[in-house]
A and B are shown apart, each in its own frame.
Chain A
């Protein structure tokens, strides 16, 4: 399905911490990232992709556009999605992740703002975040075309003229020809990815030194 990138503004991460940030010794385990869409009308969210960087759990809250009189409320659409099965080890720490509309807890139509809540309970990591955040909305469906009248309302077929004896049935011949054409198209479209196996350039393999780049 097609998708369109929605330009978004990712605000700086805000750490949530109990007590005074300066005096407490531990590192924050919860970060909040706000994502706004300043130049876009409320849209239907299709997909969110990002690169993880040591975040263990992700929750997402969304504020949707409702009818004019009720104020927009924050709704949780993803709760504690696990990105790292073991928060103390490297598994899943730098993976690329996609989250889709059907994984969300609520309907994602008319999105105004997103709030990503990142949690990393392990004290072993110096920092954690998500990178390369991209939001996609549904792409346009294939444009509807108006068919010419003779395609959508074919003329009722006339009686075929009587053929001479010995000739094959034309409808059978035409279906066979169609299939052969389809086969030749398929063969033309496919190409092999086999290597040739030559390592030299025109028979020459005189090398000086290895290159560092």
Chain B
């Protein structure tokens, strides 16, 4: 059909445009220049000969290009209608854009008032002595004990939940009378969410008759049945360096030894010297300029990761990653498909002059309470700071940004909340009704799990198995399914509680839970 062909050429043009600025493009160019020496390349058929040269599999270039294209397809949304303005690509629904805008304004006001109260500038250049000092203790910033008592986090997940609860579509029948579509949960917007039959189709590799790491690698199961073969296939996938195959493979879980490389392959991260240089450049930026956001990061790490039994050892890594993350302007490109927008500011004394307008922080992301928990689990996999940084940045611009911005995307936090509530209401109606009656709306308890992608709540090996599936399915819906599965697991205890505090106590400790059996039972073994 004409329409599909023109859509395809539009997608191809968009991907080519994106790849033109990348490292791979310059590498391919260099290779092409070098290959001109070869005898089989002739000027009359230059294009075809060079294409043939790249296709020879020993050079590996075709695979790298395939991985790069696959990565672009996974991350960027398809080109939209030509009449659609750029805001439409960020978020198609107008009322959600407005809600995100007013939420952002609140955050800016809060940050500005903190600035004026404490009389601390948003950003300043460090004096040379201070720069030297920071450079010396770069690897042990955790030993620093600055006075952070006056700082408070800009917002916490529960503030964000209140905003989501008050989200309303002005064109929707929000009357008081109960109708067949009254939302009994906290989320009142009618987004499309999947039900269990659709989830079963989507997560078919988690089925009962398919081997999983997290279930079929336990000590009682002999490894010849599944584990050995799975590890062998994993090694083969890594040898082939194929992103798409790795993404398919990891849906059944990743062996611990192969996980770091598999995640890097799926996210299309290869540590080139240019990437290490880029990280060093960011480090220099951290040393030269001091941002208010740095104190917020310090405070967040001290409050969350440093108090966690599993992650306190990585405190220094967290500073090294998060401080550099704030200075990374390449993160700004993800705002094309993120409903959020980066905050703007003007150089001192040049208010209103567009040439002096900058983004603050340079990467446009203001951290909230618990933000450092997105990085902490990755420290188990990567020990080299620049690689750890790249992996975190890619995970953020692919997945984590959706957990703290208001959007109608199926992996956005609003859809996840609605999916959780709908699953609970449909498949555990008694539990849902009981919790609602005692004033313990289930979302109030599970929201903090989903916003942090369960980091800090599950045991680390279980968390990494969960994040394997997030990468494998390129979607965050599994977080909502797991949250519902946890409620289903503790349903008996929850039916006996009589207050929100007691319900919170029943669900306070998730560190003993095994993630994969819970998901499998909830999706495939519950009688519906």
Q: Write the residues of chain A forming the contact surface with B, with a CB cutoff of 8 angstroms.
A: 49, 51, 53-54, 85-86, 88-91, 93-98, 100, 102-103, 123-128, 132, 134, 175-176, 179-180, 183, 190, 192-195, 197-201, 204-213
Contacts and interface: CB of A to CB of B under 8 A. Distances in A.
Interface string B42-85: 01101000000000000000000000000000000000110110
Contacts of B1: 102
Given A90-B191, A94-B93, A125-B172, A199 B347 contact: no
Contacts of B123: 205-207
Given A49-B83, A199-B329, A200-B358, A179 B44 contact: yes
A189 B337 CA distance: 28
Nearest to B330: A195
A199 B44 contact: no
B124 interface: yes
Interface pairs A-B: 4 shortest CB-CB: A194-B21, A199-B362, A96-B81, A89-B192
A129 to B, nearest CB: 10
A192 B445 CA distance: 48
Given A49-B83, A210-B108, A210-B345, A93 B93 contact: yes
A210 B329 CA distance: 17
Interface in B159-186: 169-173, 179, 181
B327 interface: yes
Contacts of B112: 209-210
A207 B192 CA distance: 42
Contacts of A211: 343-346, 351, 357
A141 B216 CA distance: 66
Given A127-B171, A205-B358, A197 B105 contact: no
Interface of B: 1-3, 17-18, 20-22, 25, 43-44, 46, 80-81, 83-84, 88, 92-94, 105, 108-109, 111-112, 115-116, 121-125, 169-173, 179, 181, 189-192, 278, 281, 285, 289, 327, 329-330, 332-333, 343-348, 351, 355-360, 362, 408
- Residue among A91, A183, A195, A197 having the largest count of chain B Cβ atoms under 10 Å: A197
Nearest to A124: B173
A27 to B, nearest CB: 9
Contact of B329 (A179, A197, A212): A197
Given A179-B43, A199-B285, A94 B92 contact: yes
Contact of B83 (A132, A179, A204, A209): A132
Contacts of B358: 199-201, 205, 207
A206 B285 contact: no
B21 A192 contact: yes
A89 B20 CA distance: 39
A208 B345 contact: yes
B334 to A, nearest CB: 12
A128 B22 CA distance: 44
A35 to B, nearest CB: 17
A176 B43 contact: yes
Given A102-B3, A176-B44, A207-B345, 19 more contacts: A85-B192, A89-B191, A90-B190, A93-B93, A124-B172, A125-B173, A126-B170, A175-B44, A192-B25, A195-B332, A199-B327, A199-B358, A200-B289, A201-B356, A206-B121, A207-B358, A209-B122, A210-B111, A212-B109
A205 B285 CA distance: 11
A201 B355 contact: yes
A96 B84 CA distance: 6
Contacts of A190: 20
16 contacts: A89-B191, A100-B3, A124-B172, A124-B181, A192-B21, A193-B20, A194-B20, A195-B330, A198-B329, A201-B355, A201-B358, A206-B123, A207-B345, A208-B122, A210-B108, A210-B345
Nearest to B327: A199
Contacts of A207: 121-123, 345-348, 358, 360
Contact of A90 (B84, B108, B181, B189): B189
Given A126-B173, A195-B333, A209-B115, A90 B408 contact: yes
Given A90-B169, A90-B191, A206-B124, A195 B21 contact: yes
B190 A210 contact: no
A96 B80 contact: yes
A124 B43 contact: no
Contacts of B105: 212
A204 B20 CA distance: 30
Nearest to A190: B20
A46 to B, nearest CB: 12
Contacts of B327: 199
B416 to A, nearest CB: 15
Contacts of A54: 171
A193 to B, nearest CB: 4
Nearest to A122: B181
